[in-house]
Chains A and B, each alone.
Chain A
């Protein structure tokens, strides 16, 4: 069974450009989480969805960040415009209802120049 799938795996862009990160959760999982990881701040929860509905977006750093989940098998995290301080590894994770265990995707390494 495929795990959480993320694309792209690496992204290098210039400041001011739009960046879109994609995630396909494990089939049947009801929860989807977006995290950002940096050395300084560790693993930070940005937003999470339950049954495609955003539940808590209090971790989204500012209006430049937005996330959508149009269906149970796809989610996007968009940064527009991107800034160098957005450089980080972005993880997507999913979990089934009734179990808190989260399964992480391989991550997207974002570098904003």
Chain B
């Protein structure tokens, strides 16, 4: 079983709509969770992190964590063409600074 799984294929959303991404993780002891955005040909950049169960909002982005079900979600409200990118979910399994990354979900915002 992979440490972090992002199974959805490319997601196409119209401009202004909500994009919803999901990620599951295998290590129940994981304590911290991250979403990175990666534009084509660029390096990953952090957009959100969350440690506690529930929701965390930052501008148009909301991260949701459910430790009991071992999943993390990212919502992008009022999607813009500039949000078109691959979104990587990352989990810290605990004990050090290592992160386990999912393979990513591509988001395409259609004007």
List A residues at the B interface (Cβ < 8 Å): 31, 33, 41-43, 45, 48, 50, 55-56, 91, 95, 97, 99-107
Contacts and interface: CB of A to CB of B under 8 A. Distances in A.
Contact of A43 (B45, B46, B101): B101
Q: Identify which of A41, A99, A100, A104 gathers the most chain B CB atoms within 10 Å of its CB.
A: A100
Contacts of A41: 103
Contacts of B46: 101-103
Interface residues of chain A: helix, strand, loop or mixed (majority): strand
Contacts, number: 47
Given A45-B98, A95-B97, A100 B32 contact: yes
B34 A42 contact: no
A104 B45 contact: yes
A100 B99 contact: yes
Interface of B: 32, 34, 42-46, 49, 88, 92, 96-104
Nearest to B51: A100
Given A100-B32, A100-B34, A101-B49, A43 B44 contact: yes
Contacts of A33: 98
Given A42-B104, A100-B34, A48 B98 contact: yes
Given A43-B101, A48-B97, A104-B44, 8 more contacts: A41-B103, A42-B101, A42-B102, A43-B44, A43-B104, A45-B101, A100-B32, A100-B99
